[in-house]
Amino acid sequence: MNVRKIITLVEETLTEGGRPVEPNARVAVVAAVIENPWRGQGFVEDLTAGIDEAASRVGELLAPRVVKALGGTVEAYGKAAIVGLDGEIEHGSALIHTLKFGDHFRNAANATTLLPAVEKRGPAGVTFDIPLKHVTDATIRSHHQSIEVRLADAPHPGEIVIALAAASQGRPQQRLAPLSTEQ
Amino acid sequence: MTNSATAGPAERAAGIRKIVYYQEEVLLENGTRPPVPALRATAAAVIPNPWIGTAPDKDLAEESRTVAPQIAQILTDRLIEGLGGVDRIEAFGKAAIVGSSGEIEHAGALIHTPYFGNLVREFLEGSSIICFADDRAEAGQPLVVPMWHKTEAATRSHYQTITARISDGPRPDEIVVVAAASTGPRPHARIGDRATDPAVTSRILEGAPA
């Protein structure tokens, strides 16, 4: 697996709606730009070989970095696969929709729930929003949130951007009634 | 390698809405590992434009004195922590993006006076003039920030850029202030330097003897 570039993004929100957010809200993203394992092969029916080559390794690369970048307990998390223009969205899905990828993050974040995801195909510089949900209970409404990401020169047509996102809290100024109050 | 600094009283006193740290590490360029790997980063603060609604003859000095030094400290702290120490930082740059209700001059008032530039230079332990970019733009517009060597500005291997972007800033009445730094040269810098350049003039290129 060839990794061209690794980016780290940390957003801290200090005010929202004109009011202080205390403590400040932190969301971190770490993304790796990798070669599409299936580039130049035409339509590949069985994606297993590429998954075995890359999925676990990229998960192992990203998970500790995003936990470290966040610098605290991970309360919400999410993932992304952004495929360059020569690939299939299925290629990105193949790499992130496997326990071989996600369990690295689940273990590093003491998480149990499914990772919400975005899969998309686009040119270098495309923006994408990573959805995040609570790490142990995906029905906790306060933690439904997203973060917007853009890499200036990735993915190239034969590349895939794989990203993990982590938040140390729910939305700033979250004040919606919990799901249970509507059931 | 990553930034875990947490906003505290200084950031709140400066009126900052959001701080965004962005870092890039190039592992392969043109398929080959750079001989001198470098980390590049931007630290950006989204702040209220203190001059919204003021006339174009308004003296900007007072707010420059009070706002810019705090931002310089906050942004360089994040670059130093994120890039692994001030000794690792070799190149720097700065930028500002003014929201659509402000003047470009407001960006200049925050980054082109000693209250920002001198302090960024001091905190990053440089001596060069700091190169810059500024723009007036909608939220989410990318801005390419130039950097050069922090003590030897003419060192050509360190001419490089990084793209800064805040997804939801600046709002029309805000300013995004950016400090940028790099721990090394471009991935495969190989275009010589002033010391190795041949003499080039238009007459020489037309065939006249050098």
DSSP string, A64-109: HHHHHHHTS---EEEEEEEE-TTS-HHHHHHHHSSHHHHHHHHHHT
CATH number of A108's domain: 3.30.1330.110
Nearest to A152 among B1, B20, B142 (CB): B142
The whole-chain average pLDDT of chain A stands at: 97
Which of A10, A22, A68, A151 should we substitute to test contact with B (largest number of B Cβ atoms within 10 Å)? A10
Contact: B17, A2; criterion CB under 8 Å: no
DSSP string, chain B: --------HHHHHTT-SEEEEEEEEES-BTTB--SS--EEEEEEEEEE-TTTT--TT---HHHHHHHHHHHHHHHHHHHHHHHT-GGG--EEEEEEEE-TTS-HHHHHHHHSSTTTHHHHHHHTT--SPPEEEEEE--TT--EEEEEEESS-TT-GGG-EEEEE--TT---TTEEEEEEEEESS--TT--S--TTTPPP--HHHHTT---
Contact: A24, B7; criterion CB under 8 Å: yes
Average pLDDT over residues B115-126: 98
Report chain B residues whose CB lies below 8 A from the CB of A12.
6-7, 11, 18-20
Amino acid at the residue A93: S
Residue A55: its H or E element: helix A48-70
Residue B2 has pLDDT above 50, yes or no: no
Report chain B residues whose CB lies below 8 A from the CB of A9.
20-23
Residue A152 has pLDDT above 80, yes or no: yes
Distance from CA of A158 to the nearest CA of B (A): 13
Residue B13 has pLDDT above 80, yes or no: no
Distance from CA of A133 to the nearest CA of B (A): 20
**What token pair was written down for A106?**
């689940």
**What token pair was written down for A104?**
């690295």
Does the predicted TM-score (pTM) go above 0.90? yes
pLDDT of B210 reads 59
Distance from CA of B210 to the nearest CA of A (A): 40
Interface of A with B (CB under 8 A): 2-16, 20, 23-24, 26, 28, 30, 65, 68-72, 125, 127, 147-148, 150, 152
The predicted-structure confidence for B70-95, as pLDDT tens digits, reads as follows 999 999 999 999 999 999 999 999 99
Question: pLDDT class for B177, splitting at 50, 70, 90?
Answer: very high
Residue positions counted in chain A: 183
Contact: B28, A2; criterion CB under 8 Å: yes
Distance from CA of A32 to the nearest CA of B (A): 10
Nearest to A71 among B4, B23, B140 (CB): B4
Count of pairs with CB atoms under 8 A, one residue in A, one in B: 93
pLDDT of B1 reads 40
Q: How many structural domains are present in chain A?
A: 1
Average pLDDT over residues A84-112: 98
Residue ranges of domains in chain B, CATH in brackets = 9-205 (3.30.1330.110)
pLDDT of A169 reads 97
Report chain A residues whose CB lies below 8 A from the CB of B16.
14-15
What is the extent of the structural domain holding A26? 3-182
**What token pair was written down for A67?**
């936990």
Pairwise CA distance, residues A79 & A128, whole Å: 11
The predicted-structure confidence for A23-53, as pLDDT tens digits, reads as follows 999 999 999 999 999 999 999 999 999 999 9
* CB-based contact, B31 to chain A, within 8 Å: yes
The nearest alpha carbon in chain A to B43 belongs to A10
Respond yes or no on whether the N-terminal peptide bond of residue B170 is cis (omega within 30° of 0).
yes
Bigger pLDDT: B12 vs A141: A141
Q: Contact B174/B46 with Cβ under 8 angstroms?
A: yes
Question: pLDDT class for B6, splitting at 50, 70, 90?
Answer: low
Report helix, strand or coil for A133.
strand
Closest alpha carbon to A77 in A24, A114, A47, A104: A114
Distance from CA of A4 to the nearest CA of B (A): 4
